[in-house]
Structure 1
Amino acid sequence: MHLPAPPKTFSLAQVQHQLRQMGVAFVSHGTAAQSAFAFKSLRQVEPGGIYFLSPGIGDPPPITRSIVLREETDLCGEANVILQVEHPQLVFYRLMEAMVADRKKLQGIHPTAVIGEDCDVDPAAYIGPFCVLEDCVVKAGANLHSHVTVMRGSTIEEDVTIESHSTVGATGVAWIWDPVTRRRVIQPQIGYTRIRQGTFLGTDVTVVRGSVNETTTIGQGCVIAHGSKIGHGSLIGDECHFANNVSIAGNVTLGNQCFLGSGAIVRPQTRIAERTVVGAGAVVVKHIEEPGLLVMGMPAKTVKSATDDLSGVPKSLEN
């Protein structure tokens, strides 16, 4: 039995050095009570951690013998070192990205993957175990985890990550009854799909191809979390974030930097303006024309302007 590897640990000096490498200004307060620290969560506080405290985070649990990134100088506990920085959450994420993320770039095609004859796979892309690629384009830096399916007419741009059991370019279903023959006539789905640069698709995500000549498009730098479904011909703007199990029907247009909470649903042919925040479980049935609104409920109604103090919504540094 293989036990999980212990978390990587770092000295205070290593953390400070990395901050300097990133060009982050900081002021240290306090003296380290131990030599090794690991990145840890406020949901499970333990001594010897590296934490961040941001304004509006509420009353944190007691933190001891740790490194704390925060804007204030209060030592906030026994034997802590405070690294006073601006935007502590951002700095914490950047530190983790630099110090613990697996930066090894995988390349090549796993021998169990099935690749169509007319696929164009860049040598600097990675196609994982048991992937199935029909006639499609996969560009440099794309990372397809195991059991991903990319169907014909799809383009996966640079540095896209697609996690296991997701499908890009799935076949949608559009049909009409023939009143004479009493037969359901199904329209062939012959459109396209494009996942633009730097986007992340979690596990069990389905993106349906356009119906005729449309291209279902997910913009640059989006995060589409696990279990989400995107219907045919939909256009998702840049830097949008979908929480788990979001369902977007066909021909929806979503502006840039929208956030959709877990389980949100959007009806077909709906337009949603940029920077809209859709609350968890909301059902959007009408156009949202004004940017920067928070909508909630079934059917979704405007609650207020969306601001940075919304719980669970990634913070913008521009507002």
Structure 2
Amino acid sequence: MGSRLILVGAGGFGRELINWAEDAAAQGGQAFAGYLDMHADVLAGSAYALPWLGTPDAYVPQTGDAFVIAIGDPAGKRAVVEQLRARGARFARLVHPSAVVARTAVLGEGVVLCPHSMVSADARVGDFVAVNTLSSVGHDAVVGAYTTLSGHVDLTGHVQVGEGCFFGSGARVLPKVRVGARARIGAGATIMRNVAEDATMFTMPAKKL
């Protein structure tokens, strides 16, 4: 049996990844052959004609299957990976053709790099990290497994991020700052000092003048 790429999670992020995989396929990569989701009809009535293959908690991986995780929540992402891995699953990276990856950067298993994302010199991106559109990982930075960077996130040089963190759109972390495991950084926040594990950091929303 030949290999096939399977999407896990067909919500908003999943539909984005369908498009990015098609872009990659146009340059010799691989498009998705089907998807797993807790809801069989999640793509019903949409422009995406992928077949539903089952639920992540019940699907038994077949020879040649390779999975890409389209789950933004780090804890949920880890749980699904562990479910599938316990049944022998293997995982693929999805790197959009427009992403820029330095030759000295290191990408872990199951990493997703969306359009115009960047991983710079000597950076290390852990397993199942998602780097969304126009986000960047600076030189010598380390990003822990299962972390999610939303769009327009800027991790600057030598930043250290623990496992399972979430960064909202437009968040920025200044050089050499450490962000502890499972921290949540709100949209638009600028992080200038070290962040403790499990902390939530945010900025105030805009106010009407």
* Partner residue in 2 for 1:164: 97
Q: Is 1:223 paired with 2:170?
A: no
Q: Is 1:99 paired with 2:46?
A: no
Q: Is 1:291 paired with 2:197?
A: yes
* Partner residue in 2 for 1:237: 144
* Partner residue in 2 for 1:207: 119
Counterpart Cα distance in 2 of 1:230 and 1:40: 25
After TM superposition, give the deviation of residue 238 of structure 1 in Å. 0.2
Counterpart Cα distance in 2 of 1:240 and 1:292: 13
**Unaligned stretches of 5+ residues in structure 2:** 1-9, 13-36, 44-49, 55-63, 69-90, 205-209
SS of corresponding position for 1:292: coil
* Partner residue in 1 for 2:105: 193
| Count of aligned pairs | 135
* Partner residue in 1 for 2:16: none
SS of corresponding position for 2:201: strand
The TM-score normalised by the length of structure 1 is 0.38
* Partner residue in 1 for 2:179: 272
Q: Conserved in 2, the CA contact under 8 Å of 1:167 and 1:205?
A: yes
Matches within 5 A, 1:1-319: 91-92=38-39, 99=52, 159-169=92-102, 192-210=104-122, 216-288=123-195, 290-297=196-203
The TM-score normalised by the length of structure 2 is 0.56
**Unaligned stretches of 5+ residues in structure 1:** 1-38, 42-89, 102-123, 125-140, 144-157, 171-191, 211-215, 299-319
Q: Larger relative contact order (C-alpha < 8 A, sep ≥ 6)?
A: 2
The RMSD of aligned alpha carbons is 3.4
Q: Conserved in 1, the CA contact under 8 Å of 2:98 and 2:117?
A: yes
Structure 2 counterpart of 1:196, which letter?
G
Counterpart Cα distance in 2 of 1:40 and 1:272: 28
Do the aligned partners of residues 99 and 262 (structure 1) sit closer, same or farther apart at CA in structure 2, a change above 3 Å counting?
Answer: same
Larger radius of gyration: 1
Q: Conserved in 1, the CA contact under 8 Å of 2:133 and 2:152?
A: yes
% identical aligned pairs? 21
Do the aligned partners of residues 40 and 275 (structure 1) sit closer, same or farther apart at CA in structure 2, a change above 3 Å counting?
Answer: closer
After TM superposition, give the deviation of residue 98 of structure 1 in Å. 6.6
